Structure 1
Amino acid sequence: QWIGDDRIVEIGLRYYSVADQPSLNAAVQREHDLGQLIATGEAEALLMDSANGHGSVLGGPEEFDPERSALVRLAFGYGVHQCLGHLVVRDGMDGDYRDVLLRIPSLELAVPVEELPLLDDG
């Protein structure tokens, strides 16, 4: 059903991002960020991976839903800071998913999804 569906790759990237390490920066000028005052020179840790599961953007981000209209994710950064290899990784993931699903079409979970342990230790 999902073979060749680009949305599956995007969902995978949202769950398992390569951008899971914080980016530490120092403010070059006094600024407000989401209502928080950040003084010049003050350190700021940006956790881009946390945006991949933000409920205000996705609405039920923990649900695997390829039909959702918002497939937003920051798995490879954004703009000038976007990973140069993002197309290579997407292509590789698409090929891997396709190979597994074509070779094992009856692949399914052995237990209900609710019973799967969540491993999120970075």
Structure 2
Amino acid sequence: MATGPGPATEANSFVQRLSQFFPDATPVRIPVRLTGKTISGKPFSERTTIEFGTAREVIFASHLPLEFADTLRLENADGSLSEDVSVVAIHYFDGNTTAVAARFKGEVANWIVKG
């Protein structure tokens, strides 16, 4: 029988470690879909959960090969949050997962974390 935290718990704590670099980060759990294009123009999409947020940033785990300054579209299920973000920090967890902080590219009217 296995003991200790499972992979999801480990990934979440890894995201939490990245959030410590953002003093105003607040825990949230918002399922979203990320979309974008690779440098070669190939589209990608992933479902993930925003684990932490500030008035300007979101922090989440991803399995995508993201890099600093990549632009993504972030959208929740009902479309009330549909914004472009730019990757501002990446913290590698393992070969398949990264913790990502991304900053909104503009003012967000429907964002629940206010500055």
TM-score of the aligned structures, taking structure 2 as reference length: 0.25
Whose relative contact order is higher, 1 or 2, with alpha carbons under 8 Å and at least 6 apart? 1
Structure with the higher fraction of residues in strand conformation: 2
Structure with the higher fraction of residues in helix conformation: 1
TM-score of the aligned structures, taking structure 1 as reference length: 0.24
Structure with bigger gyration radius: 1
